[in-house]
């Protein structure tokens, strides 16, 4: 009988004082509802997007943020370091390296007579490595996989063909950006 008493206390249907249909505003940067932007690793970019596209909501968010930080309006370093609720977040903010854009191609022995071709440096040109590995696998009719942070391993010795195929598939990579490292030990 306690279950019936509990269910009768919950209101069914529209709630008084709530305007329907409920509209939720989403951030154009992180694609989450704007009240969850603070948990996104690149919160500053979300703030910039809000300020540009939804200035009223940005003003509300700034006023709410001032009350949370304390009397002086500056947050503590401990608050920044401490993990917020909800796990690790969607993703870590990627660090942009100013390293030279260079694609390296090398051959590595595998067993007695077999070899693999290793391609590194495609991510410096903002190329999705999974898509590139899939392309190489279908182009050469062999196995191809992403093995490291910026490394694709293609089964077989296809090093010479890559010098023609990579600039053809991705025009932003010139043949001058592709370096041949020769035979390497993995």
Report the SS3 class of residue 184. coil
Range of the domain at 166: 103-183
The reply to whether 107 and 39 lie within a common domain is no
Least confident window among 37-46, 85-94, 102-111: 85-94
12 lies in some domain: no
Least confident window among 28-32, 62-66, 112-116, 165-169: 62-66
Give me the percent of the chain exceeding a pLDDT of 70.
76
Q: What is the CATH number of the domain that holds 160?
A: 3.30.780.10
30 lies in some domain: yes
> What is the side-by-side strand order in the sheet with 103-110?
144-148, 151-155, 114-120, 103-110, 178-183
The reply to whether 166 and 119 lie within a common domain is yes
Question: What's the whole-model pTM score?
Answer: 0.48
11 lies in some domain: no
1 lies in some domain: no
119 lies in some domain: yes
Q: What's the pLDDT tens digit per position in 131-174?
A: 999 999 999 999 999 988 889 999 999 988 998 899 898 888 88
Last residue of some domain: 11, 44, 65?
65
H-only helix segments in the chain: 2-9, 43-53, 55-69, 77-81, 129-140, 159-169
How many domains would you assign to the chain?
Answer: 2
């Amino acid at each position: 009988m306690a279950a019936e008493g509990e269910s009768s206390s919950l209101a069914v249907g529209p709630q008084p004082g709530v305007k329907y249909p409920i509209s939720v505003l989403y951030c154009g940067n992180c694609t989450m509802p704007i009240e969850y932007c603070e948990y996104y690793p690149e919160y500053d970019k979300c703030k910039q997007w809000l300020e540009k596209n939804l200035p009223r909501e940005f003003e509300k968010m700034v006023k709410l943020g001032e009350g949370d930080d304390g009397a002086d309006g500056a947050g503590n370093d401990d608050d920044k370091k401490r993990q917020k609720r909800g796990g690790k977040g969607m993703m870590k903010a990627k660090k942009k390296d100013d390293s030279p854009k260079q694609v390296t191609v090398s051959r590595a022995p595998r067993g007695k007579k077999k070899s693999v071709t290793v391609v590194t440096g495609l991510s410096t040109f903002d190329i999705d490595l999974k898509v590139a590995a899939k392309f190489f696998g279908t182009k050469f009719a062999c196995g191809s996989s992403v093995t490291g942070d910026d490394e694709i391993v293609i089964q077989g010795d296809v090093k010479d063909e890559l010098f023609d195929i990579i600039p053809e598939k991705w025009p932003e990579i010139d043949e001058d950006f592709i370096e041949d490292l020769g035979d390497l030990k993995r």
